[in-house]
């Protein structure tokens, strides 16, 4: 039975989220306000929101479990994620912000349609289909994780855990919109930062210090201290390391992360946010891997390595801290789910209803429609999670990589190559997405379990570039590309000032 202290900590955390939802709701009465907080967010918020959105329960349960299972081999994931986050802020964020401000875009499909003069809305419709499908399944899986977290920390039933998690997320996301999502992400990101800073420090101290932990791991299995792990320098080892590095590629163009750049107040906020985001991701990832390694010496022989974080929080900290760690796990889940729900809602309301069907709805009516859509998608995900549908597992395998492989090659080509065409973008998006699915279902197990993100990216780039070479760029887009690039080099605040 959970202690009063744990329940008090948890209740406080959930109440704060509800309060943030009510606070954000005061300024979510228009489409731009509801979906990108009116493009007014400051650096701290977009930095933590970006990292908290990019890292789900997988960071806290999966990556600590990976450190536990394979030791320093998991540092390849750190390399990939730090590179992905850094390259994204340094090279993608500023030009993407410049383009989306120029086009007055509030979604990624908004940007793609304007960039490629897609008057038939094909890019919007394909984007919407991919986003809604992937997000619903991914949300269902995260709610499943919420049910399991509640039952493992508090002993409640799985159903109760799913319902509590879903109710809180749906309230503050529906009522508060993107502003509530981003500010709750800030709180959740700070919690995750604190937890992943404290856990390895306490873990190593409890296990007898650095030298003792390393000596113990060496005795348990020398491969735990080898960067190439049990595979050594073999094809399987290189494929495993490359797959781990590939996880970070998603940070370069996943739409839920690009939304943070759109929502920034201006480019100065992006520059300030970049430093915070990079330091934050280093602490997240290094902390998770080393916490798992210390945990291996403290709690050897766990049947499921992904339970190492709950084991450590209960075994090494006073009971009230177990409540804090439950809040941290929930924070990782919620910060991802809320952002995905808003993303899917924006795809339906902004990209499909407002910009494709073009009904004569007022801004207020569209924002209400956004709230209703957020609720509907959340409820569908909730029903899937309550049913523990087996299909969810399969969707989750490629949800993160599917979203990233569909959008990243196209977004990067559109930003850095003026020759990218509408046909190239459509073909690249379909090819990148399809490749990840085909790879997971039919190819992966035959090719050293190579992570699907890598072939998805490769094919996405090849097809985008290949088709673009044989089709004409939209009229005026080359001149516009040159003008924006020139403006980016010259101006300090925005391309329109030059």
Chain positions contacting other proteins, by CB under 8 A: 72, 75-76, 78-79, 82-83, 85-87, 89-90, 210-211, 214-215, 225-227, 268, 271, 274-275, 278-279, 281-282, 285-286, 492-493
Distance CA 287, CA 83 (A): 17
Q: Cβ 66 to other proteins, closest distance in Å?
A: 14
Comparing CB distances to other proteins, the nearer of 190 and 278 is: 278
Among 310, 323, 319, CA closest to 8: 323
Distance CA 392, CA 142 (A): 10
Q: How wide is the angle at C-alpha 112 spanned by C-alphas 402 and 96, nearest 5°?
A: 90
Comparing CB distances to other proteins, the nearer of 215 and 386 is: 215
Q: Cβ 27 to other proteins, closest distance in Å?
A: 27
Comparing CB distances to other proteins, the nearer of 238 and 282 is: 282
Comparing CB distances to other proteins, the nearer of 215 and 368 is: 215
Q: Are 456 and 435 in contact (CB under 8 A)?
A: yes
Kindly report the number of other CB atoms within 10 A of residue 42's CB atom. 16
Q: Cβ 311 to other proteins, closest distance in Å?
A: 24
Among 261, 196, 194, CA closest to 47: 261
Q: Cβ 23 to other proteins, closest distance in Å?
A: 30
Tokens of 498: 């030059």
Comparing CB distances to other proteins, the nearer of 76 and 153 is: 76
* CA dist list (Å): 247 to 81, 241, 250, 393, 405: 7, 10, 6, 18, 11
Comparing CB distances to other proteins, the nearer of 16 and 283 is: 283
Collapse the DSSP code of 475 into the 3-class scheme (helix H, G, I; strand E, B; otherwise coil) and give the result.
Answer: coil
Q: Cβ 190 to other proteins, closest distance in Å?
A: 20
Q: Cβ 47 to other proteins, closest distance in Å?
A: 12
Comparing CB distances to other proteins, the nearer of 282 and 380 is: 282
Burial class (CB in 10 A: 0-12, 13-18, 19+), 470: exposed
Distance CA 129, CA 276 (A): 33
Comparing CB distances to other proteins, the nearer of 229 and 428 is: 229
Helices vs. strands in the chain: H and E counts, helices first = 21, 0
Q: Cβ 436 to other proteins, closest distance in Å?
A: 25
Burial class (CB in 10 A: 0-12, 13-18, 19+), 355: middle
């Amino acid at each position: 039975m959970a202690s009063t202290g744990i329940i008090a900590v948890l209740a406080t955390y959930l109440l704060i989220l509800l309060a943030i939802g009510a606070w954000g709701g005061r300024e979510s009465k228009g489409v731009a306000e509801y979906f990108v907080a009116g493009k007014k967010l400051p650096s701290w918020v977009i930095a933590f929101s970006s990292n908290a959105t990019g890292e789900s329960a997988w960071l806290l349960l999966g990556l600590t479990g990976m450190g536990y299972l394979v030791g320093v081999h998991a540092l390849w994931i750190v390399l990939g994620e730090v590179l992905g986050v850094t390259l994204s802020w340094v090279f993608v964020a500023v030009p993407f912000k410049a383009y989306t401000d120029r086009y007055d875009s509030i979604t990624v499909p908004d940007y793609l349609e304007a960039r490629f003069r897609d008057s038939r809305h094909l890019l919007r419709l394909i984007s919407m289909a991919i986003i809604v499908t992937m997000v619903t399944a991914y949300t269902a899986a995260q709610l499943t994780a919420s049910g399991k977290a509640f039952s493992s920390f508090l002993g409640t039933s799985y159903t109760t855990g799913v319902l509590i998690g879903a109710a809180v997320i749906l309230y503050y996301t529906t009522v508060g919109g993107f502003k509530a999502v981003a500010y709750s992400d800030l709180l959740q990101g700070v919690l995750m930062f604190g937890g992943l800073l404290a856990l390895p420090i306490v873990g190593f101290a409890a296990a007898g210090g650095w030298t003792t932990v390393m000596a113990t791991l060496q005795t348990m299995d020398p491969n735990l201290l080898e960067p190439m792990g049990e595979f050594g320098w073999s094809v399987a080892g290189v494929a495993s390391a490359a797959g781990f590095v590939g996880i970070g590629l998603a940070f370069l163009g996943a739409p839920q992360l690009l939304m943070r750049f759109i929502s920034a107040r201006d480019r100065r906020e992006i520059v300030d946010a970049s430093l915070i985001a990079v330091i934050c991701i280093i602490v997240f990832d290094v902390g998770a891997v080393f916490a798992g390694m210390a945990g291996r010496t403290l709690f050897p022989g766990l049947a499921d390595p992904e339970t190492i974080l709950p084991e450590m929080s209960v075994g090494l900290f006073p009971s009230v801290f177990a409540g804090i760690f439950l809040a941290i796990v929930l924070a990782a889940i919620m910060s991802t789910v809320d952002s995905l729900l808003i993303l899917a809602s924006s795809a339906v309301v902004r990209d499909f209803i407002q910009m494709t069907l073009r009904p004569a709805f007022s801004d207020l009516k569209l924002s209400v429609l956004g709230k209703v859509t957020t609720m509907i998608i959340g409820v569908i995900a909730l029903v899937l999670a309550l049913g523990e549908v087996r299909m969810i597992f399969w969707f989750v395998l490629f949800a993160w990589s599917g979203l990233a492989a569909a959008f990243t090659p196209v977004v990067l080509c559109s930003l850095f190559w003026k020759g990218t065409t509408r046909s190239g973008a459509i073909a690249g998006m379909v090819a990148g997405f399809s490749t990840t699915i085909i790879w997971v279902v039919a190819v992966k197990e035959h090719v050293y379990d190579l992570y699907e993100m890598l072939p998805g990216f490769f094919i996405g780039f090849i097809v985008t570039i290949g088709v673009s070479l044989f089709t004409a760029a939209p009229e005026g887009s080359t001149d516009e590309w040159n003008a924006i690039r020139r403006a980016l080099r010259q101006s300090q605040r925005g391309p329109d000032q030059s």
